Structure 1
Amino acid sequence: MTNIVEQRVGDSGVEGGPAALNIIDLTAGYGRTTVLRGVSLRVPRGTVAALVGPNAAGKTTLMRVASGLLPPMSGSVQMAGRDVTREAPHRRARSGLSLIPEGRAVYKSLTVRENLLMQAPRGGVDLAIEAASSSFPVLGKRLHQKAGTLSGGEQQMLALTAAYVRNPSLILVDEVSLGLAPIIVDRIFDFLLELASRGAALLIVDQYVTKALGMADHAYVLRRGSIVFDGAPNALLESDLFEQYLGTA
C-alpha cells in the first residue's frame, strides 16, 4: 500500500495568519460510542479541503463537531486562531461559519425572497436577490414561490445562495449533491468554486469524490474515525488508498 502522504499545511493560511479552521486531536461520538479518534485537520483561509472516506467513516460527525452541533469528547476546534470548542453554533455563525448540511436547509413555509431576507445582512436583501438571480436564474423567477414547492435542486440552490449572502469566512459543505440530477450537481460545484474564489475557506464532504478532489487544494481521507491520508488531491488519486476505499465513488 502507498504510504500516507505527509503534506501537512501549517497554521498559517494562504495570506498569512491562523487557519480558518483548525481541528486538533479530536475525539467525538454519541453516548458511549466513539466515532472519531484523534482527528486533526486544518483548512487555511482561501483554500478548499475535501474530506473523503467510505460510508460510516465519521465525516458527518466531524462536520457536526466543527459547526458546534455536537460537543467533542476531547480535542479542540479553532476558527481563525480562536478556540471555539465549547461555543454554540450561533456564536460560530456570527464569527463567520456557515454550515450547508445534507438535505435542504431552507424555510419551506416562506417564499424564496423571504428566505433570502432571513439570511441577508440588514439592508442587503436587494444584493441577496441579485446574487440569487445571477448565480441561479431560476431562483429569480421563483422569488414569490414557497420554498417548499421548489424542486430538490432548487431548494439546494436556495440554501447555497443563503450561505453566499452571509459572506462567511468558513463554509462546511456536507453532501449537498444527494438526490440531485448530475446537471444540477455541476451547477452547484461551479457555485462552490465561486464561493472559494471570494476568499472563503471550504471543507467539503460529498458523494462525488472526484469532483470534490478536483476543486480541492488539500485532501483528507477518514476511515473508521481516523485520518489515514493527509496530502495533495492528485497524490490521493494516484495512491492505493483511492482504489481501496474510494474507487467506486
Structure 2
Amino acid sequence: MAESRPEVLRVRGLTAHYGDAQVLHGMDFEVREGEVVSLLGRNGAGRTSTLRAILGLTGRRAGSVQVYGRETIGLPSHAVARLGLGYCPEERGIFANLSCEENLLLLPLLRPGGASLAQIYAMFPNLRERGASPGTRLSGGEQQMLALARILRTGARLLLLDEISEGLAPVIVQALARAIGELRAQGHTIVLVEQNLPFALPLADRHLLVEHGRVVADIAAADAHRPDARARFREVLGV
C-alpha cells in the first residue's frame, strides 16, 4: 500500500512570489516513495510554479518543503537537486549546440545508480539513432525524450516533470507514457504537471487539482472515474 511507503516529498504552507506577484498561496501535499502524482489545473493555477518553488527557482518562498526528510526552504537550488531531484522543465533546456549524446553525458552525477547510455537507448531508441545530431536538429518529441533522459543519467530518484506531453504527436506521447510506466516499475517517484487528462489518468496514483496556488482536491486513481470525481475534473480543468 502507498500509505506504508516513506514520504519522499512533503510540502506544507508553501507560498512563492515572482517579484511582487504571489503565485502560490499555501500548497499542501505529500508524495510517497514510488508514487506517480499528477498536478492538474488550468494555465496560471500554480502547477509549474510549485515545481520551481520546490527547487528554489522562484523569488521569495516560505513554508516547508521536505525532501527525503530534510527541510530545504533555506537551501540553494543546487543543494536541493543534490538530494536526488531531477527537474524536466517545460522548455526542456537542452544544449542546442551539443550533440544528443553530449547532452546525455554532460550533467553531473547526483547519486549512484544513474541510467547508463545503454539503458537510455533501450528506453528511447530514437536517441540512439540521433546520438550524433545537434540539439537544433532534433524534433520536438526527440528533444522531450532527451530532456527526460538527461535527468535519469544523474541518478535522481524523485522526478519533477513539467508538461512533457504538451504539443507532441500521439506516437511520442505514447512513448513517454511507456517510459513513465517503466520508471515507476523501477521505483522512481514522479510528480507530473499536466493539463492532458487522458495522458495523466492512467499513469498517476493520485491526482492533485490545483486552483489559485492551492491544492483543492486529492483524487485517488481508483476514484478518478466516479461521477463526482469527473465533475470535479470538469470544474477545475474545463474538460
TM-score computed with the length of structure 1 as normaliser: 0.86
User: How far apart, in 2, do the equivalents of 1:201 and 1:33 lie?
Assistant: 31
Q: After the TM superposition, which of the residue ranges 176-185 and 231-240 deviates more from structure 2?
A: 231-240
Question: CA 1:74–1:93 in 2, change beyond 3 Å: closer, same or farther?
Answer: closer
Alignment-derived partner of residue 202 in structure 1: 190
Alignment-derived partner of residue 232 in structure 1: 220
SS, match of residue 50 in structure 1: strand
User: How far apart, in 2, do the equivalents of 1:169 and 1:69 lie?
Assistant: 20
Q: After the TM superposition, which of the residue ranges 67-76 and 175-184 deviates more from structure 2?
A: 67-76
Alignment-derived partner of residue 55 in structure 2: 67
Cα distance, 1:175 vs. partner?
Answer: 0.6
Q: After the TM superposition, which of the residue ranges 63-72 and 133-142 deviates more from structure 2?
A: 63-72
Give the gaps of 5 or more residues in structure 2. none
Alignment-derived partner of residue 142 in structure 1: 130
User: How far apart, in 1, do the equivalents of 2:210 and 2:51 lie?
Assistant: 12
Cα distance, 1:105 vs. partner?
Answer: 2.3
8 Å CA contact 2:88–2:160 kept in 1: the answer is yes
Alignment-derived partner of residue 3 in structure 1: none
Give the alignment's Cα RMSD to 1 decimal.
2.2
Aligned counterparts, 1:171-182, within 5 A: 171-182=159-170
Match of 1:157 among 128, 145, 155: 145
User: How far apart, in 1, do the equivalents of 2:235 and 2:169 lie?
Assistant: 27
Cα distance, 1:14 vs. partner?
Answer: 5.6
SS, match of residue 188 in structure 1: helix
Alignment-derived partner of residue 4 in structure 1: none
SS, match of residue 86 in structure 2: strand
Match of 1:25 among 10, 13, 23: 13
Alignment-derived partner of residue 96 in structure 1: 84
User: How far apart, in 1, do the equivalents of 2:65 and 2:50 lie?
Assistant: 11
Alignment-derived partner of residue 68 in structure 2: 80
User: How far apart, in 2, do the equivalents of 1:114 and 1:168 lie?
Assistant: 19
SS, match of residue 13 in structure 2: strand
Indicate whether 1:244 and 2:235 are aligned: yes
1:161-207 CA deviation, whole Å, 9 max, x = no partner?
Answer: 11222221211001112221111011111111212221111110122
The total of aligned residue pairs comes to 234
8 Å CA contact 1:66–1:77 kept in 2: the answer is yes
TM-score computed with the length of structure 2 as normaliser: 0.90
User: How far apart, in 1, do the equivalents of 2:150 and 2:25 lie?
Assistant: 33
1:127-160 CA deviation, whole Å, 9 max, x = no partner?
Answer: 6321222111121111111122111111111111
Runs of 4+ in 1 over 6 A off after TM superposition: none
User: How far apart, in 2, do the equivalents of 1:48 and 1:95 lie?
Assistant: 19
Alignment-mate amino acid for residue 26 of structure 2: G
Question: CA 1:222–1:61 in 2, change beyond 3 Å: closer, same or farther?
Answer: same
Alignment-mate amino acid for residue 244 of structure 1: E
Alignment-mate amino acid for residue 176 of structure 2: I
Alignment-mate amino acid for residue 37 of structure 2: A
8 Å CA contact 2:41–2:194 kept in 1: the answer is no
Alignment-derived partner of residue 100 in structure 2: 112
Alignment-mate amino acid for residue 64 of structure 1: R
1:208-230 CA deviation, whole Å, 9 max, x = no partner?
Answer: 12321321111211111221102
User: How far apart, in 1, do the equivalents of 2:62 and 2:127 lie?
Assistant: 42
Alignment-mate amino acid for residue 187 of structure 1: A
8 Å CA contact 1:103–1:178 kept in 2: the answer is no
Alignment-mate amino acid for residue 123 of structure 2: S
8 Å CA contact 2:18–2:59 kept in 1: the answer is no
